[in-house]
Chains A and B, each alone.
Chain A
Amino acid sequence: MPCYPNTSELLLAAREALLERLAPRLPEDYRLDALVIANILAIAAREARAGEGPRRAALARLRALYGEDGEEDEARDDDARLLALTRRLAADIRARAFDDDPGRFEAMRSHLVETTIAALRVNNPRYLEVEGLA
């Protein structure tokens, strides 16, 4: 049974109260803080709504890039695996490990692009609109 109201709805209620009721009553010095907090609440709400999807997709891409099966281990910790594979990817990129394999090079590049776009969908969807990628 999902929580009711869900996390995203709760955070957006908090954001609305902050922006519409509290911020106008704050002294000017504190208004920037209020706007930053409102933005953080919006990010958290989008992240809650996106759920596990983006992380699972990233893990699947990295498993494909590194030829991992990943199905056999039911008790696996996906977040730890995602971090470990991302660490390996970062080190491999620095070591130019993909330079001689155009197929894997392209897979690496498109993983980076997709991960970045997924992060922007959560952190700053307006930026994606400006960039024509929304």
Chain B
Amino acid sequence: MAVTETGAGERGGDAEMRARLADFLARETGSAVSITRFERLGGGAIQDNRRLDVEIAEGPFAGAHAFVLRASRPAQIAFSHSRAHEFALLRAAWAAGVMVPEPLWLCEDTGIIGTPFFIMRFVNGTALGHKIVRDSKFYKLREKLAERLGEELARIHSITPANLPEGIAAEALDFLVPPSPAPAPAAITAYRRFLDEHPLPHPVIEWGLSWAEAHCPEGEEIVLCHHDFRTGNYLVDPARAESGGLAAILDWEFAGWGAPMSDIGWFCAKCWRFRAHDREAGGLAPRAPFYDGYARVSGRPIDDAAVRFWEVMAHARWAVIAIAQCERHLSGEESSVELAAIGRRLPEMELEILRLTDMA
């Protein structure tokens, strides 16, 4: 992961912030805590992640630790969870045996670093999609990695509204939007509503949604979906050969109740293959190992028609997100050349919508 130093302007108040943070950790661990490293980690257009290394003097956490502090940025994208909610999701995933960084402490007091945050264990690895898909270092791992990701997704999908993992309170995920009995039409309606608010017409996205409306899967199960399960959102460390390099599933900020095949479609969607278009499972491998890993652990067969539906919806969703990101810049909410440029990626999603809907 790219590590960059915090800016000079920030460093002025940094010593006080570190002291407040050390106090917070002392309260949580019941021990004196000294901070040995505190610096920004790269990546994440929405969140602010910092490496936090500490030495804890005594008690159950005695010793040296590498943590990550995850905070909110001032301008948050609509629909994404607060840190408190993301922390609750991570705890549920951890309890279900999903490979995630161990969540440790949540702090909603904004008096410590200025925004709410939580602390989780640091996990080594890279999340950079281009690297994972192209770098020769990962070449031999990719098929195993795809299979392992299928297994992990199945574990996430084992969590249902009526069946939370052991050790998780029944109301722990009550903040999630109540599950829609029919996630597919609900998603179509949500995207149409979004398009209605946008000043420009988007006929290709409309076409994709009209096609989707006529091809909605029926009777889908409702499970906990990650909703951003894709290459770029998991950490890979080649040293972990036994898991195909998989080190952790990240970025839980969009998780919620939904249809299991929606996560499969999102993972396989062409927009997340990082130009390795022939490796349909996330740019890693053919779909078979990913599907096999998923089906073996979940006991749930892959529904090809539903996956295709959700792949069309994946590109419509990406397109809607791209518009929303671009609007963050255009509205003046967050001036960013990167956000502005995302708008020009829309035709990539649109071409895929047209291709996927060309067949009968």
* Interface residues, chain A, with chain B CB atoms under 8 Å away: 28-29, 32-33, 36-37, 39-40, 43, 83, 86-87, 89-91, 93-94, 96, 108-109, 112-113, 115-117, 119-120, 123-124, 127, 130-131, 133
Contact = CB atoms under 8 A, between A and B. Distances in A.
A93 B348 contact: no
Interface of B: 2, 4, 192, 195, 200-204, 206-207, 209-210, 275, 277, 337-338, 340-341, 344-348, 350-351, 354
Given A90-B201, A112-B204, A130-B277, A39 B348 contact: no
Contact of B337 (A36, A43, A108, A117): A36
B346 to A, nearest CB: 8
Contacts of B2: 28
Given A32-B338, A33-B337, A117-B351, A43 B206 contact: no
Nearest to A94: B206
Nearest to B209: A94
Contacts of A89: 201, 203
Instruction: Tell me whether chain A's interface is mostly helix, strand or loop, or mixed.
Output: helix
Given A28-B4, A36-B341, A116 B201 contact: no
Contacts of B210: 93-94, 96
> Which of A40, A89, A93, A117 has the most chain B CB atoms inside 10 A of its CB?
A93
A37 B203 CA distance: 28
B347 A119 contact: yes
Contacts of B340: 40
B202 A90 contact: yes
Contacts of A120: 347-348, 351
Nearest to A29: B4
Contacts of B354: 109, 112-113, 116
14 contacts: A29-B4, A32-B338, A36-B341, A39-B341, A83-B201, A89-B201, A91-B201, A116-B354, A117-B351, A119-B347, A119-B350, A123-B347, A124-B344, A124-B345
